[in-house]
């Protein structure tokens, strides 16, 4: 079956949304491998604007997610308002989405962040992945005791 251009674009959009949701689900299930699978091998994850760090490469991002999973007792990520704009090349896109995250560290500290994800997506042999994610606060983050 051959897809029309509109059907292909819809399939691409759903694959990008899936990568974003797999990222959040992996974090919330404490499955760093699943969360990191949403990224390209050379991805950048930059949360310096919300008081965390910047990591380059899937391996470095995975390392952070592993430390996060070891330090967190419970957490959730709700992602919404996902808007994607495709580049003319058909293999890259840019997008934004809002994220609300809340949880507790194993030491009992609470954290909360309401943020904007600004993403670059790239088509890979395994489907669309996040090539760059820059996270900026929409409200002041509450990260007291968060040291992952």
Note the pLDDT of residue 146. Answer: 62
Domain spans, the chain: 5-137
Spell out a b/e string for 46-59, using b for 16 or more CB atoms within 10 Å of the CB, else e. bbeebebeebeebe
Is the separation of the CB atoms in 93 and 121 below 8 Å?
Answer: yes
Note the pLDDT of residue 3. Answer: 85
Instruction: Tell me the whole-structure pTM to 2 decimals.
Output: 0.93
Number of DSSP helices (H) and strands (E) in the chain, helices first: 3, 6
- Residues of the chain short of pLDDT 70, as ranges, are 145-148
Model confidence pLDDT, tens digit, residues 15-35: 999 999 999 999 999 999 999
Is the separation of the CB atoms in 96 and 118 below 8 Å?
Answer: yes
Note the pLDDT of residue 40. Answer: 99
- CA-CA distance, 34 to 32, in Å (whole number)? 5
Note the pLDDT of residue 147. Answer: 58
Strand 72-86's sheet: what is its strand order?
54-56, 39-46, 127-137, 110-124, 92-105, 72-86
Quickly list DSSP for 70-85.
HHEEEEEEEEEEEEEE
* Residue 118 β-bridge partners: 96, 134
- CA-CA distance, 110 to 148, in Å (whole number)? 13
Rounded to whole angstroms, what are the CA distances from 80 to 24, 60, 62, 85, 103?
A: 11, 26, 23, 16, 18
Note the pLDDT of residue 117. Answer: 98
Note the pLDDT of residue 61. Answer: 99
Fold of 5-137: Nuclear Transport Factor 2; Chain: A, (3.10.450)
């Amino acid at each position: 079956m051959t897809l029309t251009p509109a059907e292909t674009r819809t399939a691409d959009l759903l694959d990008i949304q899936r990568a974003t949701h797999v990222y959040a689900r992996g974090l919330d299930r404490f499955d760093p491998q699943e969360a990191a699978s949403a990224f390209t091998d050379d991805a950048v994850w930059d949360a310096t604007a919300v008081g965390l760090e910047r990591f380059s490469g899937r391996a470095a991002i995975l390392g952070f997610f592993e430390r996060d999973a070891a330090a967190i007792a419970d957490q959730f990520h709700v992602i919404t308002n996902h808007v994607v704009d495709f580049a003319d090349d058909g293999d890259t896109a840019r997008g934004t989405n809002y994220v609300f995250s809340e949880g507790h560290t194993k030491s009992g500290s609470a954290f909360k962040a309401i943020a904007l994800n600004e993403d670059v997506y790239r088509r890979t042999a395994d489907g669309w992945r996040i090539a760059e994610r820059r996270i900026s606060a929409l409200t002041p983050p509450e990260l007291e005791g968060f040291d992952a």
